[in-house]
Every structure is written in C-alpha cells, then in structure tokens.
Amino acid sequence: MREVERRTELPASADRIFAFIADLEKLPSWQSGIVSAHLTTAGPIGIGTVARVERRLAGQQLIVDIEVAGFEPGRRLVLESETSGIRVQATLLLEPIDPGRTGVAFSMQIRAGNVFMAPLEGMVAGAAASDIEESLKRLQHALSIS
C-alpha cells in the first residue's frame, strides 16, 4: 500500500468547503483528471452514495464508480473506488482555523488487489501526488468563483 498526502489552507469555512466537495457532481470542477461525474444513487449524499465518473489517468479514459465511505459534514469526506485491480481511498479532512479559513488535508491510499498489480502502486501513487496538488489549487479557484 502507498499513501500520499498534501495539505493547504483555504479562505473559506469548513462547512462551505464540505458542502462543495460533498456535491459529487462538482468533482470535475476541482478534482484533477475527472471529466464528468453523475450520481447513480438517489437521495441525499451520505455513506453509500455512488457516482460514476469519467477519469483521465496515465493517458487513458476510465469509467469508475466512486462510493462515499465516510461522511462527517464540515469535517471529513472519504471516497473509495477500484479499477483494474487497484483500490483507491481518497480522504479530505477539514480543520477549521478560524471562521473564514480552513486547513485541508487531502490524502490517497493506493492498494493493489493482487501481487500482479503491486508494481503499479508506485506509478499510481506518483500520479496521485501531482493530482492532489493540482486538485487543491483547483478547489481554491472553484470556491473563489462559486
């Protein structure tokens, strides 16, 4: 298993950031590599909600289902997916600094489903590190115009 994490501070409240990131159909506006996202489950967003996303990764187009695995409004969102034998868990942790500023920790755990896919963990983790950095920049921009 590999894990990558990046942190930043954003000029918005934790509740505002959480409301934005928990709207899975907004993923393409801030998460690097995601082209489209559509909910495939009905009802309010929470644990068990699934969105089908189209993603560009390492020059390939992938269709992946992302499931909400952790949901604590204003605090933590965990998304899980699996494709081609690689399981990814993305966690966004929000830490209020003051009413208009929030620390954001964005991490990804990458785990191969079998020994044959294990060599790809490092490649995926390397791509994830740059995706996380770009995603945090895009999130700041998206929040500034929403």
Continuous segment of H or E residues that includes residue 107:
strand 101-112
How many domains is the chain partitioned into structurally? 1
Q: Which pairs from 73-76 meet CB under 8 Å and 24+ separation? A: 73/15, 73/18, 73/22, 74/14, 74/15, 74/18, 75/14, 75/18
pLDDT one-digit tens code per residue, 67-104: 999 999 999 999 999 877 788 899 999 999 999 999 99
Residue numbers of the domain that contains 99: 2-145
Copy the structure tokens of residue 143: 């929040």
Residue that wins the pLDDT comparison between 36 and 116: 36
CATH number of the domain to which 98 belongs = 3.30.530.20
Average pLDDT (33-51) is 95
Mean residue pLDDT of the chain comes to: 89
Using DSSP, state whether 74 is helix, strand or coil. coil
pTM: 0.90
